[in-house]
Amino acid sequence: MPTNTHAIDTNNLQTWTTTDAEEDLMNDDHLPFWQRMIQLAGAPHLVDKTLLDFGCNQGGFLANVYSQHPFKQAIGVDLAQASLDKAQERNQQIPVTFQLPDTLTATDYFDTAFSHEVMYLLPSLDDHAQYIKTRLKPNGVYFAAVGCHTDQPRWSHWREYIAQYSNIPVMDYSLNDYANAFLKQGFATSVLPLGLDGFVPLALNNDYFPNVADSIRYYLQDKVLFKFIKQ
């Protein structure tokens, strides 16, 4: 495991990114991935279930889930208070609350948990796996989407670029690091390329994907969805 385990200072942390504009863009940028995660998770893990969204940002993921597969109850947790406030304001009509991770006292409570591009910002994957384990019901499932990892060919460039606008230290984890943290906690662990249910989007002057081949490889191979089942 990496030895660089910066503590995250959450005092007065309002947003994950350094600008509100960057924060607001995430809903649109992440939507195709959220839709794919919902599709792969499937209705049995969503309808009438209790859900946890770890790293919920402004609550867009849970809003999309509920519009397709109404859940019984959900909680979104995030380190950034301004994002939580905006999430609560935007989602008053659905059965969801938003709070800081350390204030979540419920144990053995959730049927299904999700995170999207969150684990690479965590100082300890072992602590995260333990956190998820104590909050899932027996046979509960955690779906975690990860594209930020050292096995991704453009990671060194991405790491430098992300660090410029992140209020949280960026970590260097491999796919093995993610998997092993949960395997050590006894989770049944599996993975598949997240992929997309459709064409890969392209754009001019893309800092993340300078070439079409980079986009295809990332969307169809490098970005993965882990499935961790509590035993």
Domain CATH number, residue 130: 3.40.50.150
Q: Is residue 65 part of a domain?
A: yes
Mean of the per-residue pLDDT values for the chain?
A: 90
pLDDT in tens, 108-149: 899 999 999 999 999 999 999 999 999 999 999 999 999 999
Q: Is residue 41 part of a domain?
A: yes
Measured distance CA(166)–CA(202) in Å, rounded: 24
Q: Which of 142, 112, 132, 98 is nearest to 46 (CA)?
A: 112
Given a contact cutoff of 8 angstroms between Cβ atoms, the answer to whether 214 and 203 are in contact is: no
Q: How many domains is the chain partitioned into structurally?
A: 1
**Which domain range does residue 193 map to?**
20-229
- Please give the pLDDT value at position 219: 94
pLDDT in tens, 163-185: 988 888 999 999 999 999 999 99
Measured distance CA(114)–CA(132) in Å, rounded: 10
- What's the predicted TM-score (pTM) here? 0.91
For residue 77, the number of C-alpha atoms closer than 13 Å in the C-beta half-sphere is: 18
Q: Is residue 56 part of a domain?
A: yes
Which positions ≥6 away from 9 have C-beta within 8 Å? none
Measured distance CA(41)–CA(229) in Å, rounded: 12
Q: What tokens were used for 75?
A: 């909680």
pLDDT in tens, 11-49: 556 666 666 656 566 667 889 999 999 999 999 999 999
